[in-house]
């Protein structure tokens, strides 16, 4: 059921939309005596207490609302706040902390509703990325009577500054993970989660700590540091903006050292496990459209790199070269992820595989279960790559399950080639 008729009647008619209402002028005067004129709808002005009071006192000679900005407040900040009132879902990406702080000040002056104020404080929190930004906000709150939500942000920043700094927290995480000390690891993870939730500079600190931790051997010397990898996975799942960079950090090494066959098998199984975890995270982010195609493809780019495993099964060093995506175990996980990849990203993924996987190894990808999940354009690219294989290799990879997935034109071309060889 899509809704009852009674529910439909509560929806106001389009004629009551603010777009059909009148508008008013707002004269904005800055501390530099610069005057700017804005035009906003009456319905929006009625949502702002500062304007409500002025309109209640209007006389016949009044034709514009007045806003006088104090020193240090830009008209840009006022415009952004009014945009937020117009559209509560409006996002402010890449905005500077100084402008975000001005927006909170303007919002406080205008007396906007609590939801808008909380959202703007969130914008400020995400804009804090340097120690200078932290100092700016804390200094402002210590010298002025700040709104409660802004004061809470400053209090969290001061509390973080009084705890372990980034270098100390990194050392704590590494000491606990490398020493297999669960108590220390639990403390480090709690502090990381806390700072991650705070956003802004605190979140950037967590990103830096995990990046530095990944520069230590994660897969070498018989130590599989899954504590660090797990924390990276949790972090990029909560904060998509870091997905591509931290996936590169986790899988950046292309030489792994193990002492024996048992350890080698364990590392290879872990590769499958973490490919699945980061692959699922990437697919979820892509489904929500919070990462671009290039960021999404980083994992597959890393998995088509040749990794060298050096191990000593009999007292001497043996080298095993592996392209993870072409192994049977990783391919099984890849097949489960493929149907959830959006069409455009799937086409780019196929182009990446065609470019990165050499001809002599491409046959590993020619499987019926892979082809079955390809969309039309991606299937065309894949078919063309299959048909470009040399005859001996083509004969070994084109099986009945593969033929069943190819279109009629591709099957016809294969038939012609087969007859030419007879």
In tens digits, what is the pLDDT along the chain, a chain of 422 residues?
333 344 444 555 545 565 666 778 888 887 766 788 888 888 888 888 888 888 888 776 667 888 888 888 888 888 888 888 888 877 777 788 888 889 988 888 888 888 888 888 888 877 876 777 778 888 888 887 777 878 887 877 776 665 667 788 888 888 877 777 777 888 888 888 877 776 666 788 889 989 988 887 776 544 557 888 889 999 999 899 999 999 999 888 655 655 566 666 777 788 889 999 999 999 999 999 999 999 999 999 999 987 777 666 666 667 777 788 888 889 999 999 999 999 999 999 999 999 999 888 888 888 888 888 999 899 999 888 888 888 777 777 778 888 888 888 888 888 777 665 54
Q: Whole-angstrom Cα distance, residue 154 to residue 366?
A: 56
Report whether 170 contacts 128 (CB < 8 A). no
- In this structure, are 345 and 393 located in the same domain? no
Q: What is the pLDDT of residue 317?
A: 67
DSSP strands (E only) in 291-378: 307-311, 318-322
- In this structure, are 13 and 157 located in the same domain? yes
Cα angle vertex 275, ends 274, 280, to 5°?
100
Domain boundary among 335, 357, 379: 357
Q: Whole-angstrom Cα distance, residue 77 to residue 123?
A: 12
Helix (H) or strand (E) holding 238: helix 226-238
Q: Whole-angstrom Cα distance, residue 300 to residue 318?
A: 27
- In this structure, are 298 and 390 located in the same domain? no
In a domain, 190, yes or no: no
Range of the domain at 155: 5-161
- In this structure, are 376 and 350 located in the same domain? no
Q: What is the pLDDT of residue 259?
A: 55
Q: What is the pLDDT of residue 5?
A: 40
- In this structure, are 132 and 242 located in the same domain? no
Q: Whole-angstrom Cα distance, residue 279 to residue 273?
A: 10
Distances (CA, A) of 107 to 82, 84, 127, 378: 9, 10, 17, 49
In a domain, 321, yes or no: yes
Q: Whole-angstrom Cα distance, residue 373 to residue 350?
A: 12
pTM attached to this predicted model: 0.64
- In this structure, are 238 and 135 located in the same domain? no
Dihedral sign from CA coordinates of 114, 115, 121, 124 = negative
Q: What is the pLDDT of residue 336?
A: 93
- In this structure, are 330 and 374 located in the same domain? no
In a domain, 270, yes or no: yes
Angle between helices 408-421 and 376-387 (to 10 degrees): 10
DSSP-derived letter for residue 354 is H
- In this structure, are 79 and 28 located in the same domain? yes
Q: How many structural domains comprise the chain?
A: 3
Q: Which two tokens stand for residue 215?
A: 């520069």
What residue has token string 């969130």?
122
Distances (CA, A) of 108 to 50, 91, 222: 10, 19, 57
Domain boundary among 161, 186, 203: 161
CA dihedral 192, 196, 202, 203 (to 10 degrees): 120
- In this structure, are 311 and 391 located in the same domain? no
What Rg, from alpha-carbon coordinates, does the chain have? 29
In a domain, 200, yes or no: no
- In this structure, are 248 and 348 located in the same domain? yes
CATH of the domain at 112: 3.30.710.10
- In this structure, are 223 and 311 located in the same domain? yes
Q: What is the pLDDT of residue 147?
A: 76
410 burial level (CB within 10 Å; 0-12, 13-18, 19+): buried
In a domain, 197, yes or no: no
In a domain, 183, yes or no: no
Q: What is the pLDDT of residue 8?
A: 43
- In this structure, are 149 and 247 located in the same domain? no
4 burial level (CB within 10 Å; 0-12, 13-18, 19+): exposed
Domain boundary among 120, 141, 161: 161
Three-class SS state of 68: strand
- Paired sense of beta strands 255-258 and 23-29, if any: unpaired
Distances (CA, A) of 164 to 133, 161, 177, 192, 218: 19, 7, 18, 11, 24
In a domain, 173, yes or no: no
First to last CA, the chain: 62
In a domain, 186, yes or no: no
């Amino acid at each position: 059921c899509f809704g009852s008729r009674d529910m439909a009647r509560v929806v106001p008619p389009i004629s009551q939309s603010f777009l059909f209402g009148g508008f008013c002028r707002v004269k904005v005067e800055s501390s530099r005596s610069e005057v700017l004129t804005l035009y906003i709808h009456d319905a929006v002005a009625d949502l702002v207490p500062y304007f409500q009071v002025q309109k209640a006192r209007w006389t016949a000679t009044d034709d514009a609302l007045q806003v006088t900005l104090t020193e240090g407040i830009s008209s840009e900040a006022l415009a952004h706040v009014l945009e937020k009132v117009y559209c509560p879902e409006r996002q402010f990406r890449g905005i500077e902390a100084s402008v975000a702080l001005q927006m909170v000040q303007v919002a406080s002056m205008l007396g906007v509703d609590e939801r808008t104020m909380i959202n703007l404080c969130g914008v400020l929190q995400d804009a804090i990325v340097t120690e200078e930004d932290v100092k700016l906000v804390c200094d402002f709150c210590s010298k002025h009577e700040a709104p409660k939500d802004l004061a809470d942000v400053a209090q969290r920043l001061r509390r973080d500054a009084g705890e372990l700094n980034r270098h100390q927290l990194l050392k704590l995480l590494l000491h606990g993970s490398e020493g297999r000390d669960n108590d220390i690891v639990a403390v480090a993870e709690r502090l990381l989660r806390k700072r991650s939730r705070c956003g802004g500079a605190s979140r950037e600190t967590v990103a830096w700590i995990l990046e530095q931790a990944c520069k230590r051997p994660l897969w070498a010397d018989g130590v599989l540091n899954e504590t660090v990898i797990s924390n990276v996975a949790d972090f990029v799942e909560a904060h998509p903006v870091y997905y591509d960079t931290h996936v590169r950090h986790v899988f950046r090494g292309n030489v792994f050292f193990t002492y024996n066959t048992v350890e080698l098998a364990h590392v290879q199984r872990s590769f499958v496990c973490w490919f699945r975890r980061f692959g699922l995270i990437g697919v979820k982010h892509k489904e929500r459209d919070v990462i671009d195609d290039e960021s999404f493809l980083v994992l597959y780019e890393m998995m088509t790199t040749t990794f060298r495993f050096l191990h000593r099964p009999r007292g001497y060093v043996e080298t095993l070269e592996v392209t993870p995506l072409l192994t049977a175990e990783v391919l099984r996980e890849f097949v489960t992820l493929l149907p959830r990849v959006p069409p455009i990203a799937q086409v780019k993924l196929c182009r990446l595989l065609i470019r990165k996987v050499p001809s002599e190894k491409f046959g590993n990808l020619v499987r019926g279960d892979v082809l079955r999940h390809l969309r039309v354009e991606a299937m065309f690219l894949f078919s063309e790559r299959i048909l470009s294989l040399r005859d001996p290799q083509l004969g070994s990879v084109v099986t009945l399950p593969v033929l069943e997935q190819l279109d009629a034109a591709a099957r016809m071309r294969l038939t012609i080639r087969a007859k030419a060889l007879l």
